[in-house]
């Protein structure tokens, strides 16, 4: 039996719930299909115990529940974030069906809409909004299978706390936001840490009297549109490392090295628990340092151009990481490493959408979330329209736009190339 509904939203994370909020406000019939058992699953199940927002609380702009507390410059802990999502669903009576995994989305030519199949039921819908984000599959390298059974392996989404990992040293592979935050927590709790460094950038937590995120917002960086990117693949760039722990602080790989973390180059492979490493640590550190210097120059220029009253500041010039040896091999057993944490991000997978609406990278072909197939939309992806599209800061704007398109508001003409309004 096929249940008929005007709109099916696939995914009950921040993008799906924001879209549901805007559709409900317009009185449009819809259902949200969420495979997890509770609201806020990505935050509840995919973050470690001490996790906090990395961006300040004022960036929490879930529509209808924008942050209005007394600490806009603070950083909400994980449990508070989860509770906020739970209250959100209840407060606005959003029609979420939990434990409902979507298997496929197909065009129903006879009905002029879509057939959405789940493990237990099917839905016929005029519109489908895919709100699953880019984080479907934790990414680990194929050679992870070559590690011996004596080495505990975790993806960063499975890590919970230093005490939840076996005694011994820990290798963290990946130095973007999650990898650096986890590495810092481990070594600050007395663990010996080895860190494979990539080229994800660094930004200071605060500079010249403001949080860096606030400066970026003031400079319009979050409102940059996707057509400003030099290459489509820039959509997938790693976020710079930063922390909201203990009121927020800068994470600096040179400080890590000074504190005893062993910095390594990219991991190329494993043979009998011996790592093969690229001799590119110093090259990666140059890129990391350059990213901070470039942003600081942009902030300085903005302050001067706008005539703002902001105190002069010079950031610490640390270089300890350059003293590290660029090793090409590391024996895990000799180093006492008992745990490997893969902090390599996620792979995305839209294969459930069985329509030719994806580019060579597997990213949806769309304009501001509207595809060339009438009634098929995407929301909640980084750089869907603006830099902030995949963030709590901006997902509500895109969700509102899609809800307006579904409701037939404004001049939203659609042809095979996408939205042209």
pLDDT tens per residue, the chain (421 residues)?
A: 899 999 999 999 999 999 999 999 999 999 999 999 999 999 999 999 999 999 999 999 999 999 999 999 999 999 999 999 999 999 999 999 999 999 999 999 888 899 999 999 999 999 999 999 888 889 999 999 999 999 999 999 999 999 999 999 999 999 999 999 999 999 999 999 999 999 899 999 999 999 999 999 999 999 999 999 999 888 888 889 999 999 999 999 999 999 999 999 999 999 999 999 999 999 999 999 999 999 999 999 999 999 999 999 999 999 999 999 999 999 999 999 999 999 999 988 999 999 999 999 889 999 999 999 999 999 999 999 999 999 999 999 999 999 999 999 865 544 333 333 3
The token duo for 44 is: 């509840």
Beta carbons within 8 Å of 32's beta carbon, 6+ residues apart: 9, 11, 12, 16, 17, 20, 94, 95, 96, 97
Chain-centroid distance, C-alpha 370 = 22
Cα separation, 25 vs 27, in Å, equals 6
The torsion angles phi and psi of 155, rounded to 5 degrees, stand at: -80, 155
As given in the structure block, the two tokens for residue 373 are 């197939």
Q: What is the pTM of this model?
A: 0.94
Would you tell me how many other CB atoms lie within 10 Å of the CB of residue 194?
Answer: 21
Residue 165 to residue 341: CA distance in whole angstroms = 10
Judge contact between 316 and 251, C-beta under 8 A: no
Question: Residue 38 has which token pair?
Answer: 């509770």
Q: How far is CA 280 from CA 14, 124, 198, in A?
A: 37, 53, 9
The C-alpha atoms of residue 161 and residue 121 are separated, in whole angstroms, by: 38
Q: Are strands 376-378 and 122-130 parallel, antiparallel or unpaired?
A: parallel
- What local confidence, expressed as pLDDT, does residue 420 receive? 33
Beta pairing partners, 104 = 117
Can you give the pLDDT at residue 411? 58
Residue length of the chain = 421
Domains recognised in the chain with CATH numbers: 2-136+348-419 (3.50.50.60), 140-342 (3.50.50.60)
Identify the pLDDT of residue 145. 95
**Sign of the dihedral through C-alpha 206, 51, 172, 345:** negative
H-state helical runs in 142-280: 177-188, 212-218, 253-258
């Amino acid at each position: 039996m096929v249940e008929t509904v005007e709109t099916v939203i696939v995914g009950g994370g921040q993008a799906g719930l924001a879209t549901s909020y805007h559709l409900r406000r317009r009185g449009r019939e819809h259902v949200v299909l969420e495979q997890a058992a509770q609201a806020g699953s990505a935050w509840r199940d995919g973050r470690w115990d001490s996790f906090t927002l990395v961006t300040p609380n004022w960036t929490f702009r879930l529509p209808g529940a924008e942050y209005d507390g007394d600490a806009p410059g603070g950083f909400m802990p994980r449990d508070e974030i989860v509770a906020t999502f739970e209250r959100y669903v209840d407060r606005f009576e959003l029609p979420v069906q939990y434990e409902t995994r979507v298997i496929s989305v197909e065009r129903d030519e006879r009905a002029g809409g879509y057939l959405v199949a789940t493990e237990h039921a099917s839905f016929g819908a005029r519109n489908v909004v895919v709100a699953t984000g880019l984080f479907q599959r934790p990414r680990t390298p194929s050679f992870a299978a070559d590690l011996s059974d004596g080495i505990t392996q975790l993806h960063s989404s499975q890590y919970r706390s230093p005490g939840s990992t076996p005694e011994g040293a820990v290798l963290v592979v990946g130095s973007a936001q999650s990898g650096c935050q986890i590495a810092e927590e481990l070594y600050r709790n007395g663990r010996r840490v080895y860190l494979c460094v990539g080229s994800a950038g660094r930004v200071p937590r605060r500079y010249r009297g403001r949080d860096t995120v606030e400066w970026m917002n003031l400079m319009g960086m979050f409102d940059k549109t996707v057509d400003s990117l030099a290459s489509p693949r820039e959509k997938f760039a790693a976020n710079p490392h930063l922390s909201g722990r203990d009121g927020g602080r800068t994470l600096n790989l040179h400080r890590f090295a000074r504190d005893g973390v062993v910095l390594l180059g990219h991991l190329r492979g494993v043979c009998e628990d011996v790592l093969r490493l690229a001799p590119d640590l110093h090259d990666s550190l140059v890129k990391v340092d350059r990213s901070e210097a470039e942003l600081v120059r942009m902030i300085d220029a903005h302050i001067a151009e706008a005539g703002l009253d902001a105190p002069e500041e010079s950031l610490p010039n640390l270089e300890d990481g350059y003293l590290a040896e660029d090793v090409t091999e590391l024996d895990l057993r000799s180093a006492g490493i008992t745990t490997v944490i893969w902090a390599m991000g996620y792979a995305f997978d839209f294969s459930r959408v069985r329509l030719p609406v994806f580019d060579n990278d597997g990213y949806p072909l769309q304009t501001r979330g509207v595809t060339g197939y009438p009634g098929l939309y995407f929301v909640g992806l980084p750089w869907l329209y603006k830099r902030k599209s995949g963030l709590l800061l901006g997902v509500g704007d895109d969700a509102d736009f899609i809800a307006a398109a579904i409701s037939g508001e404004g001049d939203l003409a659609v042809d095979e190339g996408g939205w042209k309004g």
